Every structure is written in C-alpha cells, then in structure tokens.
Amino acid sequence: GTSEEVAPPVQQCFMIPKKEINVVSDMAKWKRSQAYADYMGFILTLNEGVRGKKLTCEYKVSEPIEKLVALLNTLDRWIDETPPVDQPSRFGNKAFRTWYAKLDQEAERLVATVIPKHLADAAPEVAVYLKESVGNSTRIDYGTGHEAAFAAFLCCLCKIGVLRVDDQMAIVFKVFNRYLEVMRKLQKTYRMEPAGSQGVWGLDDFQFLPFIWGSSQLIDHPSLEPRHFVDEKVVNENHKDFMFLECILFITEMKTGPFAEHSNQLWNISAVPSWSKVNQGLIRMYKAECLEKFPVIQHFKFGSLLPIQPVTS
C-alpha cells in the first residue's frame, strides 16, 4: 500500500492486552514500529483537524470527551487536596509523590469510567499511559516524554473505538487543553523539574505538542503572524483562542528576563515568515528532538494497542 504522511488514527480493532508491556531499547526498531506509525499518524491527523480553528469555536462534544474532562478534573481536585509540604529544597516538592501514589492506585478505575463495559479488558493497558503522562514520582520531573504518554493514551482510546474521527477537535481543544491546565498546575504547585530539558536550547521546558497544534490553529490567520507572538499585548488579547499563545503566556509567567534569552528557540521561530512553515518545522523538530532522542523515548511503553512490531504496509 502507499504510505501517506497523515494516517487515520482510528482503527476499530481491539486486541486483548498482552500481560507484558515492553519498553524501547533500540531506536531503529522504534522508528520502524507500528507504535511509531500510529502515534505519528495520530499527531498529524489532529494537526490537520485543528488547522485554522480557534479554541473558542463550536465543535461536537461526545460523552467520552465529557468523561475524559471529568477524569482530568479529578486529578486537578487531588492537587488541591495534596498541598506542598515544607522542605529544604526549592524544587521537586515531595507532596507530588503522595499525589502520584493516588493516581497509581486509582488509574485503572478512572480509565474504566471512560471505557464502555464491553471494552473493560483494555483498561489496564490504557491506564499505563495515563500513569506515565503526569511526570516521574522518583525524580519529581515532567517533560515531553510524559506529554507523549498522554497523546499515546488518547491514541489508544481511538484505536479501541472510544474516541472517533469526529472527536478530533474536542480531543485537542477540550481534553488535551484541560490536560495542559492540570500539568501547569502540577508544575507550579510541586515545582517540578523539567525532564530531559536542553535548557535555553530546547523549545520549552515541559511541552511540545501544543506548539505544533497551536501553530496549525494559526495557519492563514488574517492578522496574526509568527513575529507577533513575542508581543505581550498580542498574547494577552488572543491567548484564550490559541494554544500556542497560551504556552507563551505560561512561559512569560514562569520565567524572568528577556524572552530572547530564556526562550531562544522560540525567539528564532518568531522570525519564520508563515505559520505553515512554523508548523512544518515544529513537526520535523518534534521527530528529531523528542521522538528520536533516547532519553525522551526510553520509557515509552508498548503493548497490544501500540505494538513494537514493525509497521505492516
């Protein structure tokens, strides 16, 4: 068959999960795997789905989407119930471990609230990705590998048919956006360290996907150009409509000093002439800097839904 850049995310297939879940040890094997093809296909399909659309636009919200938002609201509530503890070190508040232990215990039950009864067997495998998506409880850090686990969690829900093609906009605007809000709250509350951060040379300390999908939202915008996102006034007036600007707002809240110094990569991106060029460049960068970097992807889990087996074309 022909391989297309955008693969459909929804395969209405369901396999009983294998008991063992493997992690990646060989990068070449990972790049040739069915998991990589499905994951990247999912990211690119959503990228097309949100193109030129505002966060505030009208879109269909299905019952599974509502249930996923409720799940994320529960995680948010647990943060309020688990305040940071007094400790000598400024970073990595140990209360995160208490919060995480609760998720570790409850993840399968939470996932079961989203999955219909006849697919209940999938809950343990899908729950693995949810637990991986919030950061590491030993190191109290969070990064793009954890973000990728959340995207994989959503991809698995598509593969078993819980989420469908017409949920695309809601997946990004309602579920993923809520996930970002909860992750930002975790990062702030427990002062989490950036995982595998390249410092000033990375795109962002914690996230990557909202920059991809957020730049797609801005393609062909009548007035906002890439050079405008470094303008504080533009960000303040438009961040509720665009994920990309929401990310910029969060960075400027968290960091001090000139933008060009603390976020050099983003500063460089502001010189790119069009949003479609920004979007294409970010997809290339995501593959090279996140999906093909061993420290980021070494913890990626494989099972029956995202198999390590080579892609069958």
Query: What is the predicted pLDDT for the residue at 295?
Result: 82
**Which run of H or of E encompasses 123?**
helix 123-132
310 φ, ψ (degrees, to nearest 5): -60, 145
255: in domain? yes
Least confident of 15-29, 228-242, 290-304: 15-29
Query: What is the predicted pLDDT for the residue at 200?
Result: 57
The pairing of strands 193-194 and 141-142 is parallel
CB atoms within 10 A of CB 171: 29
7: in domain? no
Least confident of 20-29, 36-45, 77-86, 298-307: 20-29
Query: What is the predicted pLDDT for the residue at 293?
Result: 87
11: in domain? no
Query: What is the predicted pLDDT for the residue at 4?
Result: 40
Using the predicted structure, report yes or no on whether residue 145 has a pLDDT greater than 80. yes
Query: What is the predicted pLDDT for the residue at 196?
Result: 72
The pairing of strands 22-23 and 141-142 is unpaired
* Residue 160 and residue 38 in contact, taking contact as beta carbons nearer than 8 Å: no
100: in domain? yes
Residue keyed to tokens 């790049």: 31
56: in domain? yes
Structure tokens that stand for 282 in this block: 């970010």
Q: What contacts 72, CB < 8 A, 6 or more positions away?
A: 175, 178, 179, 182
Query: What is the predicted pLDDT for the residue at 22?
Result: 66
Least confident of 8-12, 101-105, 202-206, 219-223: 8-12
State the Cα–Cα distance between residues 259 and 243, nearest whole angstrom.
18
* Residue 226 and residue 273 in contact, taking contact as beta carbons nearer than 8 Å: yes
Q: What contacts 228, CB < 8 A, 6 or more positions away?
A: 234
**Which run of H or of E encompasses 64?**
helix 63-81
State the Cα–Cα distance between residues 218 and 47, nearest whole angstrom.
11
45: in domain? yes
268: in domain? yes
Using the predicted structure, report yes or no on whether residue 141 has a pLDDT greater than 50. yes
Tell me which amino acid residue 285 is.
Answer: M
CATH no. for residue 71? 1.20.120.1150
Query: What is the predicted pLDDT for the residue at 6?
Result: 44
Query: What is the predicted pLDDT for the residue at 13?
Result: 38
What sign does the CA torsion over 139, 145, 148, 152 have? negative
Residue 176 buriedness (CB in 10 A; 0-12 / 13-18 / 19+): buried
Rounded to an integer, the average pLDDT of 247-257 is 93
Count up the domains in the chain and report the number.
1
Using the predicted structure, report yes or no on whether residue 114 has a pLDDT greater than 90. yes
Q: What contacts 170, CB < 8 A, 6 or more positions away?
A: 59, 60, 61, 62, 65
6: in domain? no
Percent of the chain having pLDDT more than 90? 80
Query: What is the predicted pLDDT for the residue at 3?
Result: 39
State the Cα–Cα distance between residues 214 and 140, nearest whole angstrom.
27
Least confident of 15-19, 93-97, 253-257: 15-19
State the Cα–Cα distance between residues 212 and 285, nearest whole angstrom.
10
* Residue 136 and residue 142 in contact, taking contact as beta carbons nearer than 8 Å: yes
Domain assignment of residue 262, given as a range: 18-302
